[in-house]
Structures are given as structure tokens and as C-alpha cells.
Amino acid sequence: MDQFSIVDMNMAEFTSFRPCSEKIHFSDYTYHVFLSFRGPDVRKSLVDHLFEAFKVAGIHAFLDNERLEKGKIIAMSLQKAIENSAILIPIFSSGYADSAWCLEEVREMWKYRSTRLIIPLFYGVDPSDVRYPEKDNGAFTEAFKRHYSKGRFGSHIIDEWKDALHNVSSLSGWSLDMAAGRIRVGIWGIGGIGKTTLADAIFNEVSSTFQASCFLSDIRGAQERGGIVGLQTQMLRDLSKVDIKVNDINHGKSLLQFHLGSICSLVILDNVDHWKQLDSFALDFCGPGSRAIVATRDCGTLNLSMPIENIYELQGLEQDEALELFSRHAFQKANPDDSHREQSTKIIKASGGVPLTLEVLGAFLFDKKSSDRCWIEAVRMLENVTYPEIFQTLKITYDSLLPSEKDILLDISCFFVGQDTEEPAIFWEELGLNVDTAIHNLQLKLLIKIDKDNKFRMHDLLRDLGRALVADESPGNPGKRSRL
């Protein structure tokens, strides 16, 4: 039943899912939902469960028990039921076209297309077989041959059935077979190794080849701030271009399940640290040809979540690449000065090829090329750090900061990541701190960034370092720490 979890949604919100010429008022109808289905195909496997779920959710659905036993053409009572239902859902199965009754229902549904919401479901049948019911070797081919040969119905009626199937199956809907067209990729590795950078490069390179794309950054940080609902809202807006209020995580998941099925999308989830977070974004419901990329520090997160076909561990940079990255930050060129080549080689070896470490250390040593003592101390400290104890490596730069710069860095890491810079700046100025100079120096050292929307950004590892430093002030008593 998870494949059709529409029942978690508020009925009033169905009207915003697909346009019709008039706004639907559910109080005007006898039934919320009318289902058209062929009993032998889906009665036991789907419909019974779906009706029970509708009942629990307070959705009033029409169930025609008589039709399941008799093979008559559509009765007047069913015409009335369709007319008096706000949402019309045909469940297309391999035997759907065998039933003239079902074909009459879908023809009747199409008459109300301008005032009703029609949502096709494809159960074990390719949508193109429904759209083109007489194509060679299609699921409905033999059924229509029999309808013509028996002569029970006029050719004009059969042509109307085909037109109705074509039109209704061309609407956005869901398919149980959609998952076959998706590939999921997992990228894992220690913090600072470059997962986000790689995911961002992939996104920029291939996102234009998809119908829609979405990059959800720092899932772990959003979880801590209670912001998963905000990310679900962003995903809905980016992929389906709808702007609907999401009440809670379960509501957001249901909305995503409803909207994603017909969209070929690229979704990147960055910095995931628990498999349940993946479940919040309904990746199982992305449309045919979709791709999902999940970046995490913990391989176990990928193994415990939904099936991910390809999992890659991101390793540190090779020595030549690491040396060039470090040199570009420490010397502003591809290779180090001869006077610092040996020390640079020791630094990149001790760093384990972690890009974040190389960038931050390079920025730290950029204006210290004339100070051999700083370089010697940096090498000595790094050589005493066991890879991948990156916190201690990054702390070298933190320890070099002025007191005002440390205060501002810790404030940002604890409170202001993702926040506008203006209000915190006023707060720091009231404390007598030299704000502009401090922020400029923190940016030069690559400890913080300010994005195009004038909001503070930090690598999550640097953010975690700042919070860890505050926690260490008083491990057993949070009330005595400088920041809560």
C-alpha cells in the first residue's frame, strides 16, 4: 500500500494538484473518490487495502460490490456515482480492457474532465499500452480485437473507449513499475573529503538533462533545526512547481508521493546521517528515468535505507592533486615555492588528502610564507594528528584567530548558520567587536562564507568544530558554557 499513499493528505488540498476549469468543493459531492478497476486483477492485491486506508483517513470512496460479480454494461447507478464523485481514479491493469464495464467507466469519467480531478494509476501495465490500446503486442491489443470481432458494441462506441483511454492515460498519474527506471547512487566518506563538492559538480553538469532538479543541502543540519518540512517544501517547489503549505513531515511525504510520479527528476540529498531522513523525501516515487544521489559520512546509512544500487567511498586526493590544491591556497599558484616544497609535501601527506584540511591550512599559511616557525609548527602538529582526526587539524587555524574573531566564529557556528548577516552584526557591534574586519578575516581563512542572499554559510565540519569547542568548555554542565 505504500505505493499509493494518497490517503495521508487533506482532501481539500487535492484541488491544487492538477488544474481543472473550476475549483472543486468537496461538500458539493456525495463521494470524495470513485475508483474504476477490474476486480480479478486488483481486488485482493490493492483495492481492498486502498478502501480500508481511505476509510481510516476519513475519505468517502464509492465501492461497487455488485459490479464485481456481474458482467453487465455500466449501470445508471454507476453513472450517478461518477457524476457525484470529486476525484476519479481509474486503476489500469493488464485485464482492464477485457471489461466493457471498465471501458464505459473511463469513457464516462472523461466527460467530467473539466470539473473533476482524474488521477490514472497504472498497475502492472505500461502507460503507453493504455495510451495506444491497439499497438502491436500491447497489453490491450487482444482485448480490443475481441470487442470488434464479437460485434456486441458498435465501432463508434469502441472508438470512444480508445479515445478515452488515450486521453486519461496521458494525464499525470502513478505507476507501480516506475521504480524500474530509477538508479540511486550513494557517496560516502569522512567529513571534508569533498562529497558536497562532487555532488554539486554533478548537479551543475547534468541537471539540465532532467525535467526538474533539486539539490537539498545539509540534511543533518536541517534535522537538528527541525527543518525537514522546509526541505520538503523546497523539493515540491523545485520539482513540481507547486507552492503548498506542508503541515508536518508525514504530510510532506504524502505530497511528494503524489507529485513526483510523472516527473523525470534529479534529486541530490547532501549530508544525510540517518536512513529515516531519506524516507522523508519519497524517492521511491520519482518518475521514470529519475536519478537520486545521496551523500553521507556513514555508509551504514545507505545500507539501512531503501535499495541503493551503486555505493562509492570517496577517498582523499592523490599526492599531486593534494599538493596543487594546497599550493593554490597557500601560494596562489599550482606549485609551492622551492623554499617551502619539503614542508608542503609533509603537510599534504599528514592531511590524508582531505580537501577541506588542505584549503583551510593553505589559507592559514598564505600570509606566513616568511615565518619559518609557523610552517614548522604546522607540520609538527599535523604529524602528531592521526588521520582522520580532522578537528585537531582545523583547530590549528582556530587557535591562530584573534579573540574577537573566535567569538564571532563560535556565535556563527552555534546560532547563525543560514541566517542573514545583518542582525548578528548589530549584536556584535553592541559588544564592541570589530565586526567588518573580523568577518573579512574569517572569510579569507575559508572558515565562513557569505552567500548571494547575504546569509552565513559554514562547512558542516567547521560548524561542528565550533560547537564542540563550546561543549568542551563545560562537558558536564551546559549551563556554564559560553553559548547554549
Kindly list the catalytic residues: 105
Q: What SS3 class is residue 32?
A: strand
Identify any residues that bridge with 193 across adjacent strands, giving them in sequence order.
none
Are 95 and 41 a contacting pair, CB within 8 Å? yes
What are the backbone dihedrals phi and psi of residue 218, each rounded to the nearest 5 degrees, phi first? 50, 60
- Give 389-400 as a DSSP string: -HHHHHHHHHHT
Q: What SS3 class is residue 237?
A: helix
Q: What SS3 class is residue 142?
A: helix
Give the torsion sign (CA, 35, 38, 39, 44).
Answer: negative
What are the backbone dihedrals phi and psi of residue 141, each rounded to the nearest 5 degrees, phi first? -60, -55
The helix or strand, by DSSP H or E, that contains position 403, with its residue range, turns out to be helix 403-411
- The β-bridge relationship of strands 121-122 and 174-175 is parallel
Q: Grid cell 543533518 — which residue?
A: 220
> How far is CA 302 from each of CA 185, 216, 269, rounded to the nearest angstrom?
9, 17, 12
Q: How many CA atoms lie within 13 A of 154 on its CB side?
A: 3
Please tell me the distance from the alpha carbon of residue 229 to that of residue 219, in angstroms, as a whole number.
11
Q: Grid cell 592521526 — which residue?
A: 386
Mapped to the 3 state alphabet, what secondary structure does 10-28 carry? CHHHHHHCCCCCCCCCHHH
